[in-house]
């Protein structure tokens, strides 16, 4: 049987992982602490027995030095005492003491087994050639140690289980708002982006998460509203030239004698150019929305772009073009996009100018300032930021009559933004009308 692919294996939830981690940490701490406690209790009890055995050996040694072996008084029945001479022979001892030394007098063992009893032993040498071996039984200490071990063996698993339950419940309560937010966000669809998740108001990480989710939903709601408005406006804009083309086609088929070929060709070319401009503008804005409006940096002379547009306007017999403000201004940027930016600005100024258009550009230490103005009616202060939105016309009928799509300045704003620049309308236009000012860094890629 093949093992499941690790990439598709379901990972345990946060609640399970946190509970396991907390339980494992506490279990490890309790086990280490229990072993340490058991070792300390055992060492303490055996140290006490060893100290008692040393006291017994010292007492017997004192009795021997003062009265000889015969001077040894009565000994406790549960204590072990042996008096060993230099040859290793037991010359005296307690009632149940063996007749042979229970441990070496040169290298004594701390604990010895005598019959069924274990003794903690100590030795004491007298001034003569005798050695006293004294021992105390470890049965009571061993029973206490065993009781402690049993208590720890029972108590530690109970404590670990209690910690696991508390961690499970505690983590569950802590994550309950997150699970509630997950369900609420899971119910949000493209038609219900106006919904918001409940913010607990606890001013902690979960409260900040709820605020972040609500801010994200608000941005999505706004983006969807903008997208719907964009589609609606685009449909409306595309419908107008298509309707004109359809009318000319129907008129040409029904009454060919009333429509000259030149008039039909002119209408088709004009409306086709308008359609092409709309589609091209929408493609640029769509790429900008998808962050796909990438630059192909190269050295671009903005003064040359402005002079080319000035020559184009003059060749079309448009308004008078003032180019005295154009100075040398080279920057790193995308030549095609910057050319579109300049053309849109110039076309917009030419549409609204009465008789004059001014073009200017200058280079400063860290930026280039480009401005295009006209002597038209200007833009009210309240609408100067709105004109850079998509499909915005302050005078829709007049702009459409002049071929405007409402996308030109929006494209200018996107191209300036992708180059790291800004665009705005000034309040003190030199010619008295509107003046668009673009500020671009000399090295946008830096």
Greater pLDDT, 340 or 35: 35
Q: How many CA atoms lie within 13 A of 185 on its CB side?
A: 18
Mean pLDDT, residues 291-310: 86
CATH topology for 293-441 is Heat Shock Protein 90 (3.30.565)
Q: Indicate the range of 45-54, 273-282, 366-375, 434-443 predicted with least confidence.
A: 273-282
Q: State the pTM of this model.
A: 0.53
Q: Look over the chain and give the mean of its residue pLDDT values, rounded to a whole number.
A: 83
pLDDT confidence of residue 296: 84
- The answer to whether 358 touches 430, Cβ cutoff 8 Å, is yes
Whether the per-residue pLDDT at 1 is higher than 70: the answer is no
- The answer to whether 345 touches 436, Cβ cutoff 8 Å, is yes
pLDDT confidence of residue 399: 46
**Per-residue confidence band for 144, with pLDDT thresholds at 50, 70 and 90:** very high
Whether the per-residue pLDDT at 406 is higher than 80: the answer is no
Give the chain's end-to-end CA distance (angstroms, integer).
57
CATH topology for 15-97+104-153 is Beta-Lactamase (3.30.450)
Mean pLDDT, residues 59-74: 76
Give the pairing of strands 330-334 and 297-301: antiparallel
What percent of the chain has a predicted confidence (pLDDT) above 70?
Answer: 87
Whether the per-residue pLDDT at 221 is higher than 60: the answer is yes
**Per-residue confidence band for 398, with pLDDT thresholds at 50, 70 and 90:** very low
CATH topology for 189-292 is Helix Hairpins (1.10.287)
Mean pLDDT, residues 391-403: 52
pLDDT digits (tens, 9 = 90+) for 324-333: 999 999 999 8
- The answer to whether 125 touches 61, Cβ cutoff 8 Å, is yes
> Residue ranges per domain, the chain?
15-97+104-153, 189-292, 293-441
């Amino acid at each position: 049987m093949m093992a499941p692919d690790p990439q598709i294996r379901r990972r345990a939830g946060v609640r399970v992982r946190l509970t396991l981690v907390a339980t494992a940490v506490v279990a490890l701490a309790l086990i280490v602490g229990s072993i340490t406690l058991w070792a300390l209790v055992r060492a303490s009890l055996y140290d006490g027995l060893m100290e008692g055995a040393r006291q017994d050996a010292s007492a017997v040694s004192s009795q021997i030095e003062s009265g000889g072996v015969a001077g040894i008084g009565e000994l406790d029945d549960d204590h072990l005492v042996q008096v060993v001479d230099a040859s290793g022979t037991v010359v005296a001892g307690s009632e149940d003491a063996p007749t042979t030394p229970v441990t070496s007098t040169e290298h004594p063992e701390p604990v010895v087994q005598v019959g069924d009893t274990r003794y903690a032993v100590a030795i004491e040498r007298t001034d003569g050639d005798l050695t006293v071996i004294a021992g105390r039984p470890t049965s009571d200490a061993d029973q206490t140690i065993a009781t402690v071990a049993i208590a720890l063996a029972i108590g530690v698993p109970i404590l670990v289980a209690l910690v696991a339950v508390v961690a499970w419940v505690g983590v569950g309560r802590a994550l309950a708002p997150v699970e509630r937010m997950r369900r609420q966000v899971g119910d949000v669809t493209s038609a219900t982006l106006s919904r918001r998740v409940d913010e607990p108001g606890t001013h902690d990480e979960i409260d900040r998460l709820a605020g972040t989710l609500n801010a994200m939903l608000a941005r999505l709601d706004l983006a969807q509203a903008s997208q719907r408005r964009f589609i609606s406006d685009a449909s409306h804009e595309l419908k107008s030239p298509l309707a004109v083309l359809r009318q000319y086609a129907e008129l040409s088929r029904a009454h060919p004698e009333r429509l000259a070929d030149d008039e039909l060709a002119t209408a088709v070319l004009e409306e086709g150019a308008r359609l092409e401009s709309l589609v091209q503008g929408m493609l640029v804005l769509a790429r900008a929305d998808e962050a796909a409006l990438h630059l192909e940096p190269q050295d671009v002379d903005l003064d040359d772009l402005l002079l080319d547009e000035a020559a184009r306007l003059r060749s079309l017999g448009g308004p008078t073009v003032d180019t005295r403000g154009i100075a040398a201004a080279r920057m790193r940027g995308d030549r095609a996009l910057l050319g579109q930016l300049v053309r849109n600005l110039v076309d917009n100024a030419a549409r609204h100018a009465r008789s004059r258009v001014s073009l200017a550009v200058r280079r400063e230490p860290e930026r280039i300032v480009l401005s295009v103005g006209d002597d038209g009616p200007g833009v009210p202060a309240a609408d100067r930021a709105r004109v850079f939105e998509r499909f915005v016309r302050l005078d829709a009928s007049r702009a459409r009559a002049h071929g405007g799509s409402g996308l030109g300045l929006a494209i200018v704003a996107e191209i300036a933004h992708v180059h790291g620049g800004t665009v705005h309308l000034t309040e003190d236009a030199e010619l008295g009308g509107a003046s668009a000012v673009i500020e671009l860094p000399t090295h946008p890629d830096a």
